[in-house]
Amino acid sequence: MKPSSTAYGAAFLRAVENLLPEDRRLFEDPYSEKILPPVFKFFVIIMRPPRIWSFLMNMREKSSPGVIGGILC
């Protein structure tokens, strides 16, 4: 069975959520990054610096408001 790209997208967003400080996270998912394919892991690594995380998430939110929150919830 081929893995779903939708599942990878949700796992990626959960992994990115883990990059936030504990007091700002909605949840913790210690397994999300482990199941990602290499290209998704690469983007999680790129987003580790807080300024890069903020920039990329703000750009995403401007281009499609509410989508990330909807997926996470």
What gap in Å lies between CA 53 and CA 44, rounded to an integer?
9
Amino acid at 20: L
The alpha carbon of residue 56 and the mean position of all alpha carbons in its chain are separated, in whole angstroms, by 11
Res. 72 pLDDT band, cuts 50 70 90: low
Averaged pLDDT score across all residues of the chain: 88
Q: Where do the domains of the chain lie?
A: 5-72
Q: How confident is the model at residue 73, as a pLDDT?
A: 67
Q: Percent of the chain beyond pLDDT 70? A: 95
Q: What is the pLDDT of residues 49-71, one digit of tens each?
A: 999 989 988 888 898 888 877 77
